[in-house]
Amino acid sequence: MKKVTILALHLGYGGIERAVTTLANSLVKDYEIEIISTYKLYEKSFFSLNKKVKVQYLIDYGPNKKEMREALQKKKLFSFLYEFLKALHILNLRKKRMIKCIKNCNSDIILSTRDIHNTWLSKYGKKEAYKIGWEHNHHNNNSKYIKKIVKSAKNLDAFVLVSKELYTFYKKQLKEEKCKTFYIPNFIEKVTEESSPLTKRNLITVGRLSKEKGHLDLIEVIHLLQNKREDFHLTIIGDGNEREKIEKEIQKYNLQKKVTLLGYQKKEKVEKHLLASSLFLLPSYKESFGLVVLEAFEKGVPVICFDTAKGACEIITNKEDGFIIKNRNKKEMAKKIDFLLKDTKKRKTMGKKAKEKAKQYEAKNVKKKWVDLFEKRK
């Protein structure tokens, strides 16, 4: 049995981490799977992980960005200096320990999930190992980021992209390099029988509360929707450094009774809220794939998103299982939400099509692409 090692930054809450654990779980019957995680943020993986998957943590704690930010905000100079020096120590430890693991790794296949890991894997990985990069982020036409990713991947054996758009883009960028590009979408483990009845006027969004996720724009959409109707409620699941700004925006528009911020929730809780919702809203400025769209589709919930979330737009068929709103037009998004809340029949038709679409992305259908890739080097 071949051994596969996955290099991860952490196994906490996030789209990359969800993709890593889902892939590990799907492959554990066919390969010996090991995950090397830089940071240990929780006692165990945030997402459920098969007991056969071996996990090695390099640092028993996480980075101290929050502490640095708080010290800076409170103008505590000595505390900030202490946290700054601690951050440098953590970064040095991160590099030193990961490089050591890569040098000593005897796995047949090594899969990297971050650009910095790509670089170290290219330089320090054993010649006989099949070295693969796995890119989850959208470049958003950022030339600096694009150059960094191409530089990190060019000396790998293979580079996996999660959307067709990114695959086409990086294939051109890497055409003169030895690294070969492959398109393999993210996936969900399976489609269950459970579906939302789509009868309640509940809206939902799930994601990190950071600037690129566009929650401030979503609050404005909800404000516009409130001018059209009263019978709805939005649940926001996730946490992040934009939370305070979002709370202020909710207060600004007097939406405290219309919007609930739940913070991070376990998968079971997220599924429970999806089953009680009728529409999923995705206001992201960028999405390389949009795993949350699949999670909504799996529960038969239609999705409305802005067309800036390009990876998610590959999953959604406009007007069939959701709506794609052009040019981040907030008035148009509010209009489409209002339309679907009024038209129960259309909402349920879209929900059924969303459920069918999710089946294309089940582990049993996508796993074969990974196996084919792994077996390319005999």
- Per residue in 256-265, pLDDT tens? 999 999 998 9
- Tokens representing 39 are 């940071």
Which long-range contacts link 172-175 to residues 24+ away (Cβ below 8 Å)? Answer: 173/146, 174/150
- Per residue in 96-147, pLDDT tens? 999 999 999 999 999 999 999 999 999 999 999 999 999 998 888 899 999 9
* Ranges of H-type helices in 55-142: 65-73, 77-104, 115-124
Q: What is the CATH number of domain 202-359?
A: 3.40.50.2000
- Tokens representing 313 are 């737009």
The domain made up of 3-189+362-374 has a fold known as: Rossmann fold (3.40.50)
Q: Which residue has the higher pLDDT, 24 or 65?
A: 24
- Per residue in 322-343, pLDDT tens? 999 999 999 999 999 999 999 9
Compute the residue count for the chain: 378
Report the DSSP beta bridge partners of residue 27.
Answer: none
For the cut 80, the answer to whether the pLDDT of residue 377 exceeds it is: no
Q: What is the pTM of this model?
A: 0.89
Burial class (CB in 10 A: 0-12, 13-18, 19+), 238: buried
Do 138 and 164 touch, CB atoms closer than 8 A?
A: no
- Crossing angle for the helix pair 243-252 and 215-226, to the nearest 10 degrees: 20
For the cut 70, the answer to whether the pLDDT of residue 378 exceeds it is: no
In angstroms, the CA 283 to CA 295 distance is: 16
For the cut 70, the answer to whether the pLDDT of residue 352 exceeds it is: yes
CATH 3.40.50.2000 domain locations along the chain? 3-189+362-374, 202-359
Q: DSSP string of 157-206? A: SEEEESSHHHHHHHHHHTTTSSPEEEE----BS---S------S-EEEEE
The overall longest dimension of the chain from CA atoms, in Å, is: 63
- Per residue in 197-244, pLDDT tens? 999 999 999 998 999 999 999 999 999 999 888 899 999 999 988 999
